[in-house]
Amino acid sequence: MQSQMAVGVGGGLLFGVLLSVAISGTLTDGKIERAVGKTSETSEAAMAAATEGFEARIAELEAALSESAASLDERLVALQTETAVEMAALSAATEGQANDLADLVEQMAQAPQAAPAEAVDLDMPTSEARGVGETAIFADGAVRVFVSAVDQDGGSARVSVNGETQSLSIGASAAVALDGGECAVALADVTEAGAIIGSDCGVETTQATDAAAADIPPAPEDGHTPGTTVSLADGALRVFVSALAADGSSARLAVNGIDVVAVASGTSIDVAAGDQACTLTVTGVGNGMVGLEGSCS
């Protein structure tokens, strides 16, 4: 009997414990559900708020991009307009330059062509034609003229006179120091064979003898020898003495330039010097010298 009562009491206690656990588990599950529900509601609210903020940010970004695109379009249109204006101005300037160049070419085509240079009589001994690399020798070897270049079309030659380089056109001469005095080397002509060089170096004695025999007047006062440059009329006239006739009849002179003219002794020529009208007179030629006078008004 007691044993049955013990079993009954023990079974009751066990049932109570199980009932308590079941009730406790039910209560715990409810709390968990409520907690999870609250967490879900909070997460959903936070997610909704974040989504709204993100959408607002996207809207702002789209508006900014739209405004930037509109501004960029305006700047692009302005740049295109400015470029078109500059290109039009450049095209007009280029067209004007092309027209000017065409006019210049036409003027050059219509301009009279310079006549080819012709041989001149230098009134001095001349060499045979000397080609490039050859040398003309005068005054028993005291004067050596080496030809380094020849321009037949231009009527000029580049020579080295006793080591000094000179560029000479036909009729032009260069002074050479010899035995304490001066003589001249000149270019008489340029042919296919080369340059024809003339020089009075080493022939002064012969000229003096011929002058005495022909009763040529003595050297004029304040005379000038070939190869010298004379300034007259306060510098308005610059006269280069190129050569003198052996008989004293004339002098070959270059006045304010390189063009050589022959002027007879005792005669005058008119020369324009800027806005001045000038006169150059050869007062006399004798004994290897020429007398010159000049005036301008």
Q: Which amino acid is at 95?
A: E
pTM: 0.34
At residue 179, the pLDDT reads: 82
In the chain the first and final C-alpha atoms are separated, in Å, by: 175
At residue 227, the pLDDT reads: 87
Q: Is the pLDDT of residue 131 over 60?
A: yes
Q: What is the pLDDT of residues 180-209, one digit of tens each?
A: 888 999 999 999 999 999 998 887 555 555
**284 class by beta-carbon count within 10 Å (0-12 exposed, 13-18 middle, 19+ buried):** buried
Question: How confident is the prediction for the chain on average, in pLDDT?
Answer: 79
DSSP, collapsed to helix, strand or coil, labels residue 138 as strand
Question: 151-176: b or e for each residue (b if 16 or more CB lie within 10 Å)?
Answer: ebeebbbbbebeeeebebbbbbbbbb
| 288 vs 267 pLDDT, higher one | 267
Q: What is the pLDDT of residues 82-130, one digit of tens each?
A: 888 888 888 877 877 887 788 777 776 665 554 455 656 677 888 899 9
At residue 158, the pLDDT reads: 95
